Amino acid sequence: MNDDELDPRRDELLLAYLRSRSEGHVPDALRVAAMRPPPAARPASRWARGSRLVAGLSAAATLVAITLIVLATLPPGLGRLPTPQPSATGRATSAPSTSPAPSASAESFPSSVAGMPVITVAQAVELLHEGNLSGRAVAVGGYFAQYFPSCPFAGGYRGPFSDFCRMVAFTDSREASTLCHPWGASGSECSWAPDGVSNLGPFFMSETSGEQSLSALYQQLPVRLVVIGHSGDARQWQCSPDKRGGCGFAFVADRVAWVDGHDVPIGAPATIDAMTGTPIQPAMSLAEVARALGVGEELLTGAPFQAKDVWTIDPRWNLVGDNLVWFVRSITAEESAADPTRPEMVWLVDDETGELLAQHDLALAADYGPARIWVNALLHGIECCPGTEPRPYYSVESSGALVHESMVSGGASGSQNVTTFGPDTPLLLDPGTYTVTSWLATYDGGVIGEPTQECSIEITLRALDDVGLHADFPLNRPCTFASGALPSPF
């Protein structure tokens, strides 16, 4: 048998497989859009110039991609989008500010959702800038659109609240939120919302309830949307040092509550094991979890995660193990009829027993100041970027107790003989002394192999420390650790 070439007789199966990988035809949308490149002379924004050719197509592809991910990760029984329910219309324009209400010609919004008054985007932006949304929920109605242009490799850590590769508008006017306009026969051209317009682009996170109701509407943007959200999210501490302040003002969506005239029921979003991508299939339903907590209409969202992944949702909780826990947010009782915001609570519930494991306010304590470690790993002798070759992992122990364990992720870059993993999301730790261990293990089809080339370092952290931990893996020898400056680039 010729080792370099496939033999049509002996390798029939393999040849058929390889040919089948390329079966199919280019989608019609791609064919049409690609063959209608625009004239370069047409004035457009910087973003629009770079992405005009692919605008409509990219949005469609993104929609398909999002849909694929959602469908691929929905637990059994949750495969359908929530059934929209007609709702009352009207809109609160009272508290808290003197900002102008949207024009009278605007289509209507509900006056309240989940027992909370619906305020305008301009009002919410004012509350945000005054710091009044930190850890507090507010229901905001506006016109929403977002578009994901085709983007270059980010080239560094972006953090949880980044608008890299996302154009988003959530404003008080349909016109201002219309990001993309038809161009030519089949293309479109997209640009940011105009300067000077109150824009509160919400961040939809893995725990956000009801976001999937939007995915079916991406061809009809902008849509009227009421979203309940907050700022001052603890994940601001996962932003790079120079961006943390801005991240504190990120408007994080707890729940999509109403879309284009229809209520969106609360539902548990589909979640996955962050390490393997396996869909999470909890034993309890969100309704059962809410009953266990005694939470009714105050419920904002709830989603199941593996305990080891909770830190990616609320970095104040470092848990280990792959047992399932429910991460739940709710609002507390109304404090003042004039205040449209409500304090939020966060709960952790054991999926197996329904037991309340932990709870705290969503708002950060005034003296909250964790230390942060940023781990990256350098693998020598491995051509970038490996598929299932060994990948780096790390764990953190305190007084012999395991505090954290995860893959060093954040992307890989490098050359033929060296690959760098990370930096990725920093781990937040209380001041103290910790042992950090790193190792390599194969990763094949979601199965993690035996650890090899392990090494450890002991570190003592003070409040607000930012420590970079660099694990260096020579070929086939144990790694060495070094601590010091933050990994780059940021």
Partner 1 sequence: MKLSPARGPMSAAVDPAEFEALVGPWLDEMYRAAAAIVGRAEAADVTQDALLDAWRGLQRLRDPARIRPWLHAIVANRSRKQIRSWHSRPRLVDLSVTPEPAADDGDPGDLAARRDQLDRAFDRLSADQRICVALRYSIDLPVSEVAEALGIPEGTVKSRLHAAVHRLRASLVEEDR
Q: Minimum CB separation from partner 1 for residue 280, in Å?
A: 14
Q: Minimum CB separation from partner 1 for residue 32, in Å?
A: 11
In the bound state with partner 1, the residue whose beta carbon lies nearer, of 198 and 271, is 271
CA atoms within 13 A on the CB side of 244: 14
In the bound state with partner 1, the residue whose beta carbon lies nearer, of 132 and 413, is 413
Q: Minimum CB separation from partner 1 for residue 28, in Å?
A: 11
In the bound state with partner 1, the residue whose beta carbon lies nearer, of 398 and 409, is 409
Which residues have a Cβ under 8 Å from the Cβ of 452 and sit 6 or more positions away?
390, 439, 440, 441
Q: Minimum CB separation from partner 1 for residue 251, in Å?
A: 23
CA atoms within 13 A on the CB side of 356: 14
In the bound state with partner 1, the residue whose beta carbon lies nearer, of 37 and 100, is 37
Q: Minimum CB separation from partner 1 for residue 75, in Å?
A: 16
CB atoms within 10 A of CB 262: 15
CA atoms within 13 A on the CB side of 147: 29
Return the residue matching tokens 């506006």: 142
Q: Minimum CB separation from partner 1 for residue 389, in Å?
A: 8
In the bound state with partner 1, the residue whose beta carbon lies nearer, of 215 and 409, is 409
In the bound state with partner 1, the residue whose beta carbon lies nearer, of 140 and 239, is 239
Take residue 163 and report the two structure tokens written for it: 């608008």
In the bound state with partner 1, the residue whose beta carbon lies nearer, of 398 and 413, is 413
In the bound state with partner 1, the residue whose beta carbon lies nearer, of 97 and 409, is 409
Q: Minimum CB separation from partner 1 for residue 421, in Å?
A: 7
Q: Minimum CB separation from partner 1 for residue 489, in Å?
A: 8
